[in-house]
Amino acid sequence: MRAGTGWDIHRTNPDRTLFLGGVKIPGAAGLAGHSDADVLVHAVVDALLGAAGLGDIGEHFPDTDPELAGISGRAIASGVIALLGGAGLRIVNIDCTVVLETPKLRPHKEAIRASLAEMFHVAIGAVNVKAKTCEGLGPVGRGEAIEARAVALVEKAKLKT
């Protein structure tokens, strides 16, 4: 078994749609970024790539590539699943935390959890989603950004006999 951590932060942008874990969050400012700026998916992807020893999201999906402009978190996740499969690895579990002041995530947590489970091909019981605030401190606390952190565990895939 191997563990990896991931972290990401994006500035808020009221002209964009907010996606967290592949779920559209209505009525909230979106995030700035070259992709759909799904800060949660990006953190999970970095955790998985780290656990697999496969670098980071910027190496596989660089923000300097115009062909990747607007790429969805789901497309990035699909690419990472292929990389893990090619390395003979499977995901054991994902634990993640979204740090933001607004919107409140409680009404969306189960949908985000289900979306991440589907996106990363694991049982819903293998995914945990938490939400925290910064109590008004720093750029996240002032509503200028949203941050996400993730831990993932992977293992060698069992051979089918």
Residue 133 sits in a domain of what CATH number?
3.30.1330.50
Is the pLDDT at 103 greater than 80? The verdict is yes
In angstroms, the CA 26 to CA 29 distance is: 9
Is the pLDDT at 159 greater than 80? The verdict is no
**Average pLDDT value for the chain:** 95
The number of distinct structural domains making up the chain is 1
> Has residue 128 been placed in a domain?
yes
In angstroms, the CA 89 to CA 158 distance is: 9
> Has residue 146 been placed in a domain?
yes
In angstroms, the CA 137 to CA 126 distance is: 31
pLDDT reported for residue 63: 87
Global pTM? 0.95
> Has residue 161 been placed in a domain?
no
Is the pLDDT at 23 greater than 80? The verdict is yes
Is the pLDDT at 160 greater than 80? The verdict is no
Domain enclosing residue 146, as ranges = 2-156
Most confident region among 43-47, 103-107, 154-158 by mean pLDDT: 43-47
